[in-house]
Amino acid sequence: MSVISASAELYDSITGTWALTAAMAEPREGSTATMLANGDVVVAGGATTGFVTLSSVELYRPSIAAWRDAGTLATARALATGTLLMNGQLLVAGGVQFPALTPLASAEIYDPTADTWRDAGTMLSPRFGHRASLLSNGQVLITGGQTTGAGVLASCALYDPLTGTWSATGSMASVRQAHTATTLLSGKVLVVGGNASATVLASSELYDPVTHAWSDAGSLQTARNSTRPR
């Protein structure tokens, strides 16, 4: 594991410059970082020196350039996804626990008004290296990822904040992890690249939330993925 830092920096889009801000209380990598509706940023979980998986959560408040404790996850996790829901709450789903590389199916929700965490049920499959996309109907689409035994998934799941339940939806044509997943203006989700175990992918697929089906979206000129989960 590389050197893990607690430092933080701010980018000023007006001046195009970076500046150091207050450091987190705990060094971490592989955490989620999600901006809330009020501009605060929640950093949850991750891993620190010695392959220790974290359950701690910190909240950065730009107005005072300071961090504060934001409670504790019920389950320590790294390489999870963090999704801001339409109701202003934060869904953290899946992830992995080091050093055994144990994938997680559990999910948790942070309520910034109450400053509390609560259980959000379990995805249909444990996974990390997956992606989460907020749909126009308020549901969250989980795509791909790695599961037990280093298997890579094509399966997908939907989280419905109104009922607090998970359900299966259409599977991708290709297994993939470490891909991109982007919600388009049309409401469809474009998934691009990633890897299938040792193979880096050029393929892309398009998810239709109305039909719950995937269609081919062509191929990249160059196969590519993001940093692979360890």
Give 49-58 pLDDT, tens digit per residue: 999 999 999 9
Instruction: Compute the distance between CA of residue 56 and CA of residue 73 in angstroms, rounded to an integer.
Output: 6
Instruction: Compute the distance between CA of residue 43 and CA of residue 90 in angstroms, rounded to an integer.
Output: 11
Burial of 142 (0-12, 13-18, 19+ CB in 10 A): buried
The one-digit pLDDT tens for each residue of the chain (230 residues) are 478 999 999 999 999 999 999 999 999 999 999 999 999 999 999 999 999 999 999 999 999 999 999 999 999 999 999 999 999 999 999 999 999 999 999 999 999 999 999 999 999 999 999 999 999 999 999 999 999 876 999 999 999 999 999 999 999 999 999 999 999 999 999 999 999 988 999 999 999 999 999 999 999 999 998 854 33
Q: What is the per-residue burial (b if ≥16 Cβ within 10 Å, else e) of 152-162?
A: bbbbbbbbebe
Burial of 124 (0-12, 13-18, 19+ CB in 10 A): middle
Burial of 171 (0-12, 13-18, 19+ CB in 10 A): middle
pTM of the shown model: 0.94
Instruction: Compute the distance between CA of residue 215 and CA of residue 199 in angstroms, rounded to an integer.
Output: 21
Q: Is the dihedral of CA 209, 210, 214, 218 positive or negative?
A: negative
Give 137-161 pLDDT, tens digit per residue: 999 999 999 998 769 999 999 999 9
Instruction: Compute the distance between CA of residue 229 and CA of residue 58 in angstroms, rounded to an integer.
Output: 23
